[in-house]
Structures are given as structure tokens and as C-alpha cells.
Amino acid sequence: MYEQVSHSLLNRILDRLKPETRKRDLRHFYTRLGANFYTIHSLFHHLYGERDDFTRQMVRLVEVMACQYIERSPSLKEVDIARERDHNWFLSQKWVGMALYTDGFAGDLVGLASRAGYFQELGVNMVHVMPIIKYPEGAGDGGYAVSDFRDVDERVGTLEDLRNLARELHRRDILLALDVVVNHTSDEHEWARRARAGEKTYQDYYYIFDNRDVPDMFEETMPEIFPETAPGNFTYDETMGKWVMTVFNNYQWDLNYSNPAVFIEMLDIILYWANQGADIVRLDAVAFLWKKIATTCQNEREAHLILQLMKDCCQVTAPGVLFIAEAIVAPVEITKYFGEDAVIAKECEIAYNATFMALLWDAVATKNARLLNQGIRSLPNKLNRSTWLNYIRCHDDIGLSFDDADIVQAGYDPHSHRRFLVDWFTGAYPGSPARGKPFGVNRKTGDARISGSLASLVGLESALESGDPDAIQRSVDLILLLNSLIMSFGGIPLLYYGDELGTINDYDYINDAAKADDTRWMHRPHIDWQTAELRYRRGTVQQRIFDGLQKMIAIRKTITAFADYNNRELLDTGNPHLFTFIRSNPFMLDDIVLVVANFDSSPQSLTLSDLWQRGRFEYSRLRDLYSGESPRLFKDQLVIPPYRFYWLSDQELP
Ligand code: GLC
């Protein structure tokens, strides 16, 4: 019955579509809309069905999908069709990503396009270009406070430059990932300005209140995201004389998704950027999309329904485009952004593996993998046709959102363990070589996060200062060790620009008043291309790291067992210093790789025959796929040097 209603509505909508849309070749569009309409209508009805203007909004939604389909270029439509046929294309081990700020990497978009060869030199074939959409000078949160969703920020270039970049990357088989900041706008966005000027339509785009009554109710259960720089979740706007919800910085106004007009605007914007050539859209801060009193206003069920709806609509207009969920939340919550109670992903196909990232840093500080093993064991299975974005560092801080129960299980007290980690990475702990800084210190709860570049956090900055060659080598080994794990864990490894050259912290941000109280700026570098040339000089830190990564990436791409089909088996070796797992190719049974990483400063050993029945591996034929050498082996005792890893296989080298 319901299905009939929604289908007759579909027919009415198609009749009412603008005349120009009816003249086009919309066959693929109609097929996809027909296939997805029942779900789209149900979700939209579930969220907005109570409203008098429901049908009008539904028509508008379909109109947006149709108009953006018409705008989509023939070449992108071809890519859509190819990806529909090869729908698991992004699970392949051949993808390796890098995230970067355009200005820091290459000045502007033209500069970035001219550096495209660098990605190929390293082996990177997915580039996440962080926010380039227009944002204000000063109060911009590195581009995450958007003032005009349809234009490129003039500091990095023009829309035309972006289209050229997309073409240049695609010509080289490199994917382009772009950000769409869906949770909030800058207070300088036109919607915010019109709201401020008193327009009710635009006040309804945000959470705006006459007095503190409702904000105070919200505050009872909402945590603070930037407690030092933006305490509380509401900001008083003098002009309006009202309170606005601002979960992040006080100039970032939270969008109100209980208003269907907001959903439709944002869908239109996502599709707009998909049409500029984005293969992947990174949806920022998705955990925050729905606000409800008496909750933390994170991970609400409706936030998931909104993402499902966005995905289903995108499936109709631009089915080749993938979504990345940026949800830096508790481990049990993260996997839900692929979708729940489903077999294949129905929200975002890709999610940041923030759990793995934080656990890797725990292993670095403790020199053992106890919490890492425990945390990965507790990480819920993810759906098929979904994959992780595995990373070590990004432009944000390192949050220590492990599960308390896992910390206890690993033998630590949660509060003092987190304090130890902050002390370790900020160099306050005796003997720590790390050079990070605290971020987001919450004086009320005692919580803190950590800023700092990969190189500085593993001790390279202090080692270079002291000139101690052993300490330098240790840091280089640790950098390669961490990378070996994001390359082999299952998912798309995402490097962070500058880390491939061992770039240390940049302390210049302190001199810029707009950045000085946000320590994240210390790890958002400007690449010095002169220094980058040192990657060609044997023995330099740059060469050791760059070559190591280049080789690792090339080898990863040949190891089919590293494709992500949930084909990882964590091994309990009994040795707490080791993180060990098997990757096996689900389509070729004897294609198995044993990954072993030693986080300790001493050599560690592992008894191979304890791990699985004899015969699964030919010990005598074991080779490390990375170095091409036989590992150190005595009978079935495998020896792993300090801060080293193996990718072991008994198959012929590729
Ligand atoms: C995301 C971004 C972060 C930003 C925040 C608010 O978490 O990664 O840099 O501050 O959203 O937009």
C-alpha cells in the first residue's frame, strides 16, 4: 500500500519536474530513481512526514537530484556506470591516499596540479584536498567554517582551477576527494547573515533561541568540543539578541536538519561538488547532524537516517561517488556510519579509523601492543563493501577515545593511562623524546588531546636536535613501522602531507593571532620543496623515509591479500610487544601474508608453530615481501628487531 502511494507520488513528481528536465536523456536517472525511490521516500517521510509541506519538499528533493544529474558531465556519467558494474572497486589494495592543505602543499590549486607528478612518484593515487570552499579570513577553522558553499576560496584559486586539477588528477588515474562541511556554516555565510537580519526562513536553518531556557537544557548533557577556545555550545548574537547553537567554534553555526530545506540545500551542495569532479566526498563532523535534548547530541539515530538519505539520493544522481564519514567517536559508534543492520554499506562507504590511529599511538608510547590488540579485538566488524581510511596523523589532534573497558582489560587505569599518554607525547614524561603539545584541555574533566607532527611525536625532532644517529634511526624505523601497519591492516592508507619527508612541527602559528591558541596549526606544514629535494640524497632522513614509503606502497599494490574483504585474523602471540595478524586473499587460499610489528626497543621473538598448524606456512621459504630478504629465523623462532616489521609470505615474490 505504502509502496503504491510512494510510486504514484513519484509519477506526479516526474510530471511536475521542470520542462527542461523532461527534454533530456534521463534513462539512467529514471532507472536509479525508480530503484531507490521507495527508500528515499520512506526516509524522507520518517524525518519530515509530519510537516504540512511534506509533498512540496519531496518534489523539491527530486528536482534537485534531477537538475544535478543534468549538470553532470558525460565523462563523469561514464565513470558512474563503470563503477556501478565494478562496485567493489575501492576495496582494492591498489589505492593509497594523501590528505593535504592546498596552500601548505603547493600554494594554490594551479601549483597543486603542477605537483601531480609527485603523487605518482610516491605511489599516491587518491588525494584528499582539504577545504577549499570559500571561508573567512581569521575565523575560518582551516576552511571548516564555510561562507559560500558554491565557490572556491580565492586564496587557493577559482572553480576553473579546481576543474583543471580534477582533470589533471584523473588523467593520471588519481582520485580526488573533497570536503563538504555538512554540520555547520560560518557566521558569515549568507544564510547566517539573513538569519541575523531577522529573516525567519533562515533563522529556521539554524538552532536559534530567544533566551537561555532551551540552551541550558541542551548544555546539561552536551560535551564541549573546543573547551579552551570555545567553551559551551551556544553563542549570544548581539545583532539578533538571540542564542545560536555553535558546537565547535563560536563562529560555526550548527545547521538544523530537522528542517527539510536544510537537508535539500546540503544535498544539492554535495552533488554540486561531485559534479566538479570529486570522486569522494568527505562529510565533516557527521556524528553531530542531529540534536536532541538530554543527549550528547552525537550519534543520534536520525543522524544516521540523514546519511542514509544522502547516500540514496547520491546513488541516483552520481552513483560513482563515495562518501567518507568523519566521525571521530567511540569505537562502537564509528562502524555504525557504514550503516547498521545491513550487509553492505548504506551510509558512508569509507570511515576514518580513528580507533586504530589512537591505538597505534598508544603502542608507540607504551612500547607494547596490549591495548592495541585489545582495542582491535573489540572493534565491531564492519559491513561488506565498506572500508577504513587508516591513518597515523591528520590535520586534527589525536583524541584518546579508547574504550575504558579495553584500557582496564589491557591492565591500566583509564584516567592515569590517558594522563600518561598526554605526558608522553608532550615530552613531559621522563625519557620521552616526543615534542607534541596538548590540545583541547578540559579543566573540568581533566581530558586532553594531542597535537604534533608524526616526525616530532616519534622523536625525530629531538633526535635531529641532539644529532644522535641511533635516535634518528629509531625515529625513522618507527615512522616506517607505523606506515607498514596502515598499509597492511585492511582499508585505504591515508598519508598526511609532509610525513613522507619527516616534516617536524612548525611553530610559526604562534605568531598569528588567529591561530595562536589552536595547537593543531603546529602540524599543518608548508612544504619546503628545496628540503624535499633531499629525498634524492642518499642517507638523509628525507630519503630514508620517502624511499621506504615509496617501496612499501609499490609492494602493497601487488599484495592481493591486502585488499579489504574483512580478511584479517588477529593473532594472539603471547608476546605483548608484538602486533600480529594474518591477511589472506579470500579468492586464492594459499595467498597469505603474516604481518608482524615490534613496538619494543629490544628484539622480540615469536614461535611460528604456536600460531597455526604446521603446513600453513613453509618456514624455510618465508620471505619478507618488504625487504625481499629472509627474516631472522631459528627453527620456528622468528626474531623481529626493535621497531621493525615483517610482511611475511612463503609465496614467490611478486
Ligand atoms: C572536523 C575537522 C576539524 C574541524 C571540525 C569542525 O572535525 O576535521 O578540523 O575543526 O570538523 O568543522
- The whole-number average pLDDT for the span 136-153 is 96
CATH, residue 195: 3.90.400.10
Spacing, Cα 334 to ligand 1 middle (Å): 16
Catalytic residue among 153, 284, 403, 518: 284
Could you identify the atom of ligand 1 that is nearest to the CA of residue 183? 12
Which residue has the least CA distance to atom 12 on ligand 1?
A: 144
Any idea what DSSP says for residue 647?
A: E
The one-letter amino acid at 364: V
With a cut of 80, say whether residue 86 has pLDDT above it: yes
- Report the Cα–Cα distance between both ends of the chain, in Å, rounded: 57
What number of CA atoms fall less than 13 Å from residue 486's CA on the CB side?
32
Does any domain span residue 114? no
Which helix (H) or strand (E) is 340 found in, with range?
none
154-162 long-range contacts (CB < 8 A, ≥24 apart) are 155/103, 155/108, 156/102, 156/103, 156/108, 156/109, 156/132, 157/102, 157/108, 157/109, 157/110, 157/132, 158/109, 159/276, 161/108, 161/109, 161/110, 161/113, 162/109, 162/132, 162/276, 162/277
Does any domain span residue 630? yes
Any idea what DSSP says for residue 474?
A: H
Catalytic residue among 161, 168, 326, 423: 326
Question: Which of 147, 248, 334 has most ligand 1 atoms within 8 Å of its beta carbon, as the pocket-test mutant?
Answer: 248
| Among candidate residues 578, 640, 633, the one with its CA nearest the CA of residue 609 | 633
Last residue of a domain, one of 254, 275, 297: 254
Would you list the DSSP string of 109-175?
Answer: HHHHHHTHHHHHHHT--EEEE---EE--SSS-GGGTS-SEEEEE-TTT--HHHHHHHHHHHHHTT-E
Residue that wins the pLDDT comparison between 626 and 612:
626
Q: How far apart are CA 551 and CA 540, in angstroms?
A: 16
Does any domain span residue 269? no
Q: What is the pLDDT of residues 520-547, one digit of tens each?
A: 999 999 999 999 999 999 999 999 999 9
Q: How far apart are CA 442 and CA 447, in angstroms?
A: 5
Q: How many CB atoms lie within 10 A of CB 164?
A: 17
Q: What is the pLDDT of residue 612?
A: 64
Q: What is the pLDDT of residue 24?
A: 72
The SS3 of residue 494 is: strand
Q: How far apart are CA 3 and CA 285, in angstroms?
A: 33
Does any domain span residue 500? no
Cβ(396) – ligand 1 distance below 6 Å: yes
Q: How far apart are CA 515 and CA 518, in angstroms?
A: 5
Q: What is the pLDDT of residues 208-241, one digit of tens each?
A: 999 999 999 999 999 999 999 999 999 999 999 9
Taking all residues of the chain, what is their mean pLDDT, rounded to a whole number?
Answer: 95
CATH, residue 611: 2.60.40.1180
Q: What is the pLDDT of residues 548-569, one digit of tens each?
A: 999 999 999 999 999 999 999 9
Last residue of a domain, one of 234, 254, 274: 254
- The whole-number average pLDDT for the span 451-480 is 98
Q: What is the pLDDT of residues 354-369, one digit of tens each?
A: 999 999 999 999 999 9
Does any domain span residue 527? no
Cβ(352) – ligand 1 distance below 6 Å: no
Does any domain span residue 641? yes
Q: What is the pLDDT of residues 13-34, one digit of tens each?
A: 777 776 666 667 889 999 999 9
C-alpha cell at 39: 527508500
| Among candidate residues 179, 171, 75, 157, the one with its CA nearest the CA of residue 109 | 157
Which residue has the least CA distance to atom 11 on ligand 1?
A: 285
Last residue of a domain, one of 208, 233, 254: 254
- How are strands ordered across the β-sheet holding 604-607? 604-607, 637-640, 632-634
Spacing, Cα 248 to ligand 1 middle (Å): 8
| Domain residue limits at 618 | 560-649
- The whole-number average pLDDT for the span 67-74 is 95
Secondary-structure percent of the chain, ordered helix, strand, coil, rounded to 5: 45, 15, 40
Cβ(397) – ligand 1 distance below 6 Å: no
Q: What is the pLDDT of residue 444?
A: 85
Cβ(284) – ligand 1 distance below 6 Å: yes
Q: How many domains does the chain have?
A: 2
C-alpha cell at 246: 555553535
Residue 195 CB burial class (10 angstroms; 0-12, 13-18, ≥19): buried
Q: Which CA distances in Å does 404 have to 225, 299, 422?
A: 19, 19, 16
| Res. 3 pLDDT band, cuts 50 70 90 | low
Which residue has the least CA distance to atom 7 on ligand 1?
A: 285
Question: Which of 144, 286, 288, 515 has most ligand 1 atoms within 8 Å of its beta carbon, as the pocket-test mutant?
Answer: 144
Could you identify the atom of ligand 1 that is nearest to the CA of residue 396? 9
Q: What is the pLDDT of residues 349-405, one digit of tens each?
A: 999 999 999 999 999 999 999 999 999 999 998 999 999 999 999 999 999 989 999
Residue 238 falls in the annotated catalytic set = no
Q: How far apart are CA 299 and CA 291, in angstroms?
A: 9
Residue 78 falls in the annotated catalytic set = no
C-alpha cell at 594: 603474516
Which residue has the least CA distance to atom 8 on ligand 1?
A: 396
The angle formed by the CA atoms of residues 102, 107 and 110, to the nearest 5 degrees, is: 80
The one-letter amino acid at 451: S
Q: What is the pLDDT of residue 23?
A: 66
With a cut of 80, say whether residue 572 has pLDDT above it: yes
Any idea what DSSP says for residue 143?
A: G
Q: How many CB atoms lie within 10 A of CB 499?
A: 24
Q: Is the dihedral of CA 497, 355, 361, 95 positive or negative?
A: negative
Identify the residue whose cell numbers are 599511538.
361
Does any domain span residue 644? yes
Cβ(188) – ligand 1 distance below 6 Å: no
| Residue 451 CB contacts under 8 Å (≥ 6 apart), including other chains | 397, 398, 436, 437, 438, 439, 519, 520, 522, 523
Q: What is the pLDDT of residue 613?
A: 58
Does any domain span residue 474? no
The SS3 of residue 276 is: coil
- Residues present in the chain in total: 654
Which residue has the least CA distance to atom 4 on ligand 1?
A: 144
